[in-house]
Chains A and B, each alone.
Chain A
Amino acid sequence: MTDRVPVLKIGQILLVSIQTDLEDQMVLDLQEDLSQRIVDTNAQGVVIDITALEIVDSFVGRMLATIASISRVLGSETVVVGMRPAVAMTLVELGLSLPGVRTALTLERGMEQIKRLNQNPSAPR
Chain B
Amino acid sequence: MTQGEGSAELLDLMESRRDEFVQGWVRSVSGTLRGRLSAAEVAQELGEIYNALLGALKQGGLAGRGDHFSEVRSLLIELSRNRARQGFTPTETALCVFSLKQVLEEALVASPDGARSYLQLARLLDDLGLFTVEEHAKTREEIISSQAEQLLELSTPVVKLWDGILGVPLVGTLDSARTQVVMEKLLQGLLDSNSTHAIIDITGVPAVDTQVAQHLLKTVVAARMMGAQCIISGIRPQIAQTIVALGIEFGDIATKATLAAALHDALAEIDEASSLRKEGLL
Using a CB–CB cutoff of 8 Å, the interface residues on chain A facing chain B are 79-81, 83-85, 87-89, 91-92, 97-98, 103-106, 109-110, 112, 115-116, 119, 124
Contacts and interface: CB of A to CB of B under 8 A. Distances in A.
Nearest to A118: B281
A97 B191 contact: no
Given A81-B227, A85-B222, A112-B277, 16 more contacts: A83-B226, A87-B225, A88-B187, A88-B223, A91-B225, A92-B221, A92-B222, A97-B221, A103-B225, A103-B226, A105-B227, A105-B228, A112-B273, A115-B282, A119-B276, A119-B281
B282 A88 contact: no
B226 A85 contact: yes
Contacts of B184: 85, 89
Per CB-CB distance, the 3 closest pairs between chain A and chain B, nearest first, are A85-B187, A104-B227, A103-B227
A44 to B, nearest CB: 13
B76 to A, nearest CB: 44
B117 interface: no
Contacts of A110: 227
Contact of A85 (B191, B273, B276): B191
Interface residues of chain B: helix, strand, loop or mixed (majority): helix
Quick one: which of A80, A89, A109, A112 has the most chain B CB within 10 A?
A: A89
19 contacts: A81-B227, A83-B225, A84-B191, A85-B183, A85-B190, A85-B222, A87-B225, A89-B187, A89-B222, A91-B225, A92-B183, A92-B222, A105-B190, A105-B196, A109-B227, A112-B277, A116-B282, A119-B276, A119-B281
Contacts of B183: 85, 89, 92
Interface in B168-206: 180, 183-184, 187-188, 190-191, 194-196
B155 to A, nearest CB: 19
A109 B187 CA distance: 16
B194 A106 contact: yes
A89 B187 CA distance: 9
Contacts of A106: 194, 227
**B188, B222, B223: most-surrounded residue (chain A CB, <10 A):** B222
Interface of B: 180, 183-184, 187-188, 190-191, 194-196, 218, 221-228, 252, 273, 276-277, 281-282
A106 to B, nearest CB: 7
Contacts of B276: 116, 119
Contacts of B191: 84-85, 105
Given A105-B190, A105-B194, A116-B276, A83 B281 contact: no
A87 B188 CA distance: 12
A27 to B, nearest CB: 19
Contacts of A109: 196, 227
B62 to A, nearest CB: 56
B239 to A, nearest CB: 23
A116 B281 contact: yes
A97 B225 contact: yes
Nearest to A56: B225
A92 B228 contact: no
Contacts of B227: 79, 81, 83, 103-106, 109-110
